[in-house]
Amino acid sequence: VAAAGQVARVAMARLQGVKQRNNRRAIPTSRDVAALAGVSQSTVSYVMSGKRAISEETRRRVQAAIEQLTYQPHAGARALRGRRTNVIALVVRMRESLDPAGTIPYVETIVETARARDYDVVLVTTDEGPEGLTRLAKRRVCDAFVLMDIRKDDDRIETAAGLELPVVLMGIPEDRHGLDAVDFNTRRAAELLVDELADTGHRHIVLVGAGPNTPPRDFHFISEFYDGARQRAVLRELDFVVVEREEEGWTGIERAADRLLARRADRLGWIARTPQVTDWLLQLARLKGLIPGRDLSIVSLCTKTTATALTPPVTNVSPEPRDLARLAMTVLFELLDGAEPSGSVRLVEPAALERRETTALFS
């Protein structure tokens, strides 16, 4: 007890000394906590980590001291000694993002999930290239990587695979180099959309993609969607065409209107692959005096939120971004907890199709 008192006095002196010199509170260290609680510095560390048994009395005193000083452990010191940073690097494609608005929910969910396990997230852009990954790994800035917006021939994969750190790919490249990947089952989503149209007596399907700047063949989830829809249409004996816009934006839709409507009046269904395209197709119908759900159908791959926010509400299959982000983090935490990379792909299955006003019942 006498010793504890002495240590406490020393700590007070230190705090006051600093206060006098800087005229402002210094950020407390675990030594300050220890002194205030009258224990050794390592005991503070053990109280925080829970890695050894601590008497109730000691734990209480230490916790009180921690709260009184609002102590937080120095992240750098922890990383240096403990060889883990509690930081996850999230590598996203921002400059040429496929869907800027769509990116936010992913990022948000990943940050939330990370925080739930006391990880912070550093955000990196693909523009930094593979060297960016190497830099973060060698500088020990992070413990693991999540790579978003994976292209089939993504140049980050090989580098990431050589890093000896946990990596999860969101999206499926041609060569995974042994890394774990997660994605939506967009093939299955396409099948559900085609089935909906088949089941309701449609004859002709037009699949409308996002346009010239997003080449379907560069991204696995897009080509899967196309292939799935096409094959299902064959199976269900429906006429099937893809209309690729030759121009971006609304103009692209307007210019393609003739092709989109070539089979008008004959049990026509449009499949929109993105929220934006869905909106435009509704707009086009409105402009042409066609009522979705009566004159033709519009079904869409978009979230429930988007589908119900549109007018009229659109029949959709939902690729919930949050589910995919959560799956990615589940896999990542397994790896961080010591699991061996399995090099496997895990898919998020689409929820059941939700029929809304834009499905026409022809049968």
Give residues in contact with DNA (CB under 7 A): 3-4, 27, 29-31, 38-43, 45-46, 48-49, 51-55, 57-59, 71, 73-74, 77-78, 80-82
* Residue 248 to residues 60, 208, 281, Cα–Cα distance (Å): 63, 13, 14
d(C-alpha 279, C-alpha 256), whole Å: 15
- Phi first, then psi: give them for residue 230, nearest 5 degrees: -60, -45
Q: Residue 303: name the closest of 271, 274, 270 by CA.
A: 274
Least distance in angstroms from the C-beta of 325 to a second copy: 12
Least distance in angstroms from the C-beta of 276 to a second copy: 10
What angle is formed at CA 11 by the lines to CA 10 and CA 17, rounded to 5 degrees? Answer: 90
Least distance in angstroms from the C-beta of 92 to a second copy: 9
Pick between residue 95 and residue 139 the one whose CB is nearest to DNA: 139
342 makes contact, choosing from a second copy, DNA, none, with CB < 5 to 8 Å by partner type, with none
Answer whether 121's CB lies under 8 Å from 90's CB: yes
Least distance in angstroms from the C-beta of 40 to DNA: 3
Pick between residue 58 and residue 308 the one whose CB is nearest to a second copy: 308
52 makes contact, choosing from a second copy, DNA, none, with CB < 5 to 8 Å by partner type, with DNA
d(C-alpha 91, C-alpha 171), whole Å: 12
Least distance in angstroms from the C-beta of 122 to a second copy: 5
19 makes contact, choosing from DNA, a second copy, none, with CB < 5 to 8 Å by partner type, with none
360 makes contact, choosing from a second copy, DNA, none, with CB < 5 to 8 Å by partner type, with none
DSSP state of 237: T
Least distance in angstroms from the C-beta of 5 to a second copy: 27
Least distance in angstroms from the C-beta of 135 to DNA: 13
Pick between residue 58 and residue 231 the one whose CB is nearest to DNA: 58
Residue with tokens 């950020």: 27
Q: Residue 206: name the closest of 225, 187, 229 by CA.
A: 229
Q: What is the DSSP string of 291-330?
A: -BTTTBEEEEES-HHHHHHSSS--EEE---HHHHHHHHHH
- Phi first, then psi: give them for residue 241, nearest 5 degrees: -135, 155
3-state helix, strand, coil in the chain (%, to 5): 50, 15, 35
Judged by the rule CB under 8 A, the positions of this chain that interact with a second copy are 24, 27, 70-80, 85, 87, 90, 94-95, 97, 100-101, 103-105, 107-108, 111-112, 115, 120-125, 127-128, 134-136, 138-141, 164, 248-251, 254, 279, 283, 286-287, 309-311
Element (H, E) at 63: helix 56-69
SS3 per residue for 324-357: HHHHHHHHHHHHHCCCCCCCCEEEECCCCCECCC
Least distance in angstroms from the C-beta of 331 to DNA: 24
Coil, helix or strand at residue 296: strand
d(C-alpha 105, C-alpha 103), whole Å: 6
